[in-house]
């Protein structure tokens, strides 16, 4: 692959010199912090009810303040909110070339278009992985700081593993979003697609077909649903189609804008 390593380095430099890493770090850090806030409320539900922060019904729905509930909240946040958070990163990595009017300069370089696309996907994968690991580390610190009840290490490790699997099911699903960022020449089309698939994911899951709709699958997994092999195959095929479609667009489309 022509100049792939150099293309990856260039994409890293673009990200490092922008404010997006800072914004995404702050955004992702809110997940474990918000979860910690909920755990504090659950630890003192009487006070929370008196000040109107939580109702008795909501307390029952949320569970108790322990590590299993806390990590379960983070897993669902990654599975559902990750499509938006990861999608914004993918949209920025691809869409910024059009918004900044650098796409024609980029394609004039002696680097194959497929290498450029693959380099962007590598940066997205490493970027989102780093943010997810950061969430895990912050979660451990927050859980210790708010004094969640002691629990066997196996439960914490199992919860972390479930969170990482939810991440692995979510991150492949942003590849079609990167296609729309490329074909749509900017940020708005992929953002529209993100909210559309999230809406459809909720509706299709409600009617009972969520295991066959790729963007419903991570959320179902995070809730403990029994998924068949077909669900994991659908996620994989969706990712492959998104990558292939993005590469083909960059290879074959007339990049005149």
Per-residue pLDDT of the chain (257 residues; tens, 9 = 90+): 457 778 788 888 888 888 888 898 998 889 899 888 888 877 776 655 655 555 544 454 456 778 888 998 899 889 888 888 899 999 998 888 777 676 665 666 666 778 888 999 999 999 999 999 999 999 999 988 888 888 888 988 998 999 999 999 999 999 999 999 888 887 788 888 888 998 999 899 889 898 999 999 999 998 888 888 999 999 999 999 999 999 998 888 665 54
Q: Which of 77, 83, 107, 115 is CA-nearest to residue 190?
A: 83
Report d(CA 36, CA 42) in Å as an integer: 10
pLDDT at position 189, please? 85
| 92 domain residue, yes or no | yes
Q: What is the pLDDT of residue 53?
A: 56
pLDDT at 35: 87
Would you say residue 15 lies in a domain? yes
DSSP codes of every residue in 126-194? HHHHHHHHHHHHHHHHHHHHTTPPP--HHHHHHHHHHHHHHHHHHGGGGHHHHHHHHHTTSSHHHHHHH
| pLDDT value of position 99 | 72
Among all chains, which residue has been given the structure tokens 């796409």?
Answer: 103
What pLDDT does residue 56 have? 47
E strand or H helix at 110, and its extent?
none
Determine the Cα–Cα distance for residues 102 and 232; give it in Å rounded to an integer.
37
Asked whether 95 and 187 are in contact (CB, 8 A), the reply is yes
Q: What is the pLDDT of residue 226?
A: 82
Give residue 98's domain range. Answer: 4-252
**pTM, entire model:** 0.84
**CA–CA separation, 214 vs 170, rounded Å?**
9
The count of structural domains within the chain is 1
**Per the domain annotation, does 44 fall within a domain?**
yes
Asked whether residue 192 is domain-assigned, the answer is: yes
The angle subtended at Cα 12 by Cα 11 and Cα 16, nearest 5°, is 120
Output the 3-class SS for 178-215: HHHHHHCCCCHHHHHHHHHHHHHHHHHHHCCCHHHCHH
Residue 257, domain member (yes or no): no
pLDDT at 2: 54
């Amino acid at each position: 692959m022509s100049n792939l390593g150099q293309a990856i380095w260039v994409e890293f430099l673009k990200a490092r010199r922008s404010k997006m890493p800072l914004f995404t770090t702050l955004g992702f850090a809110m997940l474990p912090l918000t979860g910690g806030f909920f755990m504090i409320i659950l630890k003192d539900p009487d006070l929370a009810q008196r000040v109107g922060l939580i109702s008795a019904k909501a307390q029952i729905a949320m569970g108790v303040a322990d590590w299993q509930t806390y990590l379960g909240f983070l897993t669902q946040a990654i599975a559902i909110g990750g499509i938006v958070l990861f999608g914004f990163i993918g949209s920025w990595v691809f869409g910024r070339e059009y918004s900044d009017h650098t796409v024609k300069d980029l394609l004039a370089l002696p680097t194959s278009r497929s290498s450029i696309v693959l380099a962007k996907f590598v940066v997205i994968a490493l970027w989102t992985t780093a943010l997810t690991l950061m969430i895990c580390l912050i979660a451990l610190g927050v859980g210790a700081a708010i004094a969640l009840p002691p629990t066997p290490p196996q439960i914490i490790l199992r919860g972390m593993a479930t969170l990482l699997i939810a991440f692995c099911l979510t991150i492949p699903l942003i590849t079609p979003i990167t296609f729309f960022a490329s074909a749509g020449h900017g940020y708005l089309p992929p953002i529209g697609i993100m909210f559309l698939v999230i809406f459809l994911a909720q509706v299709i899951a409600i009617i009972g077909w969520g295991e066959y709709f790729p963007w419903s699958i991570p959320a179902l997994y995070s809730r403990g649903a029994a998924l068949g092999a077909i669900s994991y195959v659908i996620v994989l095929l969706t990712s492959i189609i998104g990558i292939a479609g993005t590469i083909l667009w960059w290879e074959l489309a007339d990049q005149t804008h």
